[in-house]
Amino acid sequence: MSSRRKILFRWGIAVSALALAIVVVVYFARKAPAAVSENVTHDVPWLDGKSIRFSPGFAERAKIVMAPVETGSLSPVVSVTGTVSFDPERVAALGARIPGRIRHVLKLPGDRVAKGEAVLDLESAELGQAQAAVLAAQATALAARANEARETELAEQRVSSARDAEVARAAATAANADLLAAEQKVRALGGSAGGELGVLVLRSPIAGKVIELGVARGQSVEPTLTAARVADLSRVWIELAVFERELGRIRPGDDVEISPQTDTHRIVNGTVAHVGDVINLDTRSAPVRVVVENVEETLRPGQSVLARIHVAAKDGEALLLPRDAVVSIDGKQTVFVAHDATSVEPRAVETGASDGTRIEIASGLETNDRVVVSGVFALKSEVFR
């Protein structure tokens, strides 16, 4: 066989093998779906009029459990989000009433201060002038009182006239008034007559912690500037926005559990102190204020929290279901009412209060109804896609 024939023969074998491989692949590709479809059983719920039917196998796989509607009392819980804020009675702003220059910064943010403790001081020419006027008024008043005493004694001895004694008494009275006015001016400027001349010391009016410092050493300040803020964080407020549909059930004195959104396992107890009187037209909510004892300072102003308000329980009994037994279908609260072990009917209901685990059914169910309490999501996802 020539070389040309050998090459052609080899190419023929290769082409035949390739064609055979393509035929095999196409054959099995066509057969595979049929084989799979033959082995797979489409066991899913189906609609039968108003009912949903399913096989016992599906019920087992979806862990469908049916239970009768319960009756009992409910202690409703209103869950909302809120923000930690300062107790206004426990926060103070420190600022100078006169222009000056910061001389010393004695406390930094995070430092604790006692009531009356110095936080910073500043130099002020205006305060110095006022304090100097006090010193001058003190000297004038002292001299006037001495002159009054002398003239009174001379008048009693008939050495001088009674008129001279009256003039001396009037001069002493005027000097004392000038002294009082000078001292009052120093106090109005924030200083003290007996303090260091021209130095204004800013002291904390409350015990707490420095939370803000707005000045630096050597900085010039004006009366409008807040130099520092001090807060007592052992008690804080929680500001909540509660929708009007739940607002009517909340009363001052209701217990509240507060948890930081970053750590929901940590719980701090508080009490409702105020329920807002005006509904916000945009959000349809009103403010609710909760007072929390924050001795360990685990809550910080500005922090986002979750609040669970335990409102007073209603009188009498109500129909109750597990919260997970109720789902939303086409915007309606719906439960699956059992006809038998493999047949249920979706039924719209009106819900009421909830304690986070159970929910009150206001209408749509009767006491002898049985409903699906487990596997609800599987039914909804298969039928109402």
Give the span between the Cα atoms of 301 and 234, in whole angstroms: 11
The residues of the chain scoring below 50 in pLDDT are 31-40
Give the span between the Cα atoms of 25 and 28, in whole angstroms: 5
Strands 51-53 and 343-348: antiparallel
Tokens, residue 297: 């300072």
Task: Write the single-letter amino acid at 165.
Answer: A
pLDDT tens digit string along 110-136? 999 999 999 999 999 888 888 888 888
Beta bridge partners of 43: none
Give the span between the Cα atoms of 339 and 369, in whole angstroms: 9
What pLDDT does residue 318 have?
Answer: 80
Backbone φ, ψ for residue 171 (5° rounding):
-65, -40
Longest dimension (CA), the chain: 169
Contact between residue 10 and residue 1 where contact means Cβ atoms under 8 Å apart: no
Give the span between the Cα atoms of 376 and 336, in whole angstroms: 8
Buried b (16+ CB within 10 A) or exposed e, 369-381: bbbbbebbebbbe
Would you tell me how many other CB atoms lie within 10 Å of the CB of residue 233? 21
Exposed/middle/buried for 302, CB within 10 Å: 0-12, 13-18, 19+? exposed
Contact between residue 95 and residue 226 where contact means Cβ atoms under 8 Å apart: yes
What pLDDT does residue 358 have?
Answer: 83
What pLDDT does residue 34 have?
Answer: 43
What pLDDT does residue 115 have?
Answer: 95
What pLDDT does residue 32 have?
Answer: 45
The secondary structure of residue 344, as a DSSP letter, is E
Contact between residue 299 and residue 260 where contact means Cβ atoms under 8 Å apart: yes
Exposed/middle/buried for 345, CB within 10 Å: 0-12, 13-18, 19+? middle
**SS3 (DSSP) at 279:** coil
Contact between residue 272 and residue 282 where contact means Cβ atoms under 8 Å apart: no
What pLDDT does residue 382 have?
Answer: 73
Q: Which domains does the chain have, with CATH numbers?
A: 51-76+316-383 (2.40.420.20), 125-197 (1.10.287)
Tokens, residue 35: 């084989």
What is each CA distance from 164 to 142, 156, 161, 343, in whole angstroms?
18, 11, 5, 117
Contact between residue 76 and residue 93 where contact means Cβ atoms under 8 Å apart: no
What pLDDT does residue 39 have?
Answer: 40
Half-sphere exposure of 57 (CA within 13 A, CB side): 4
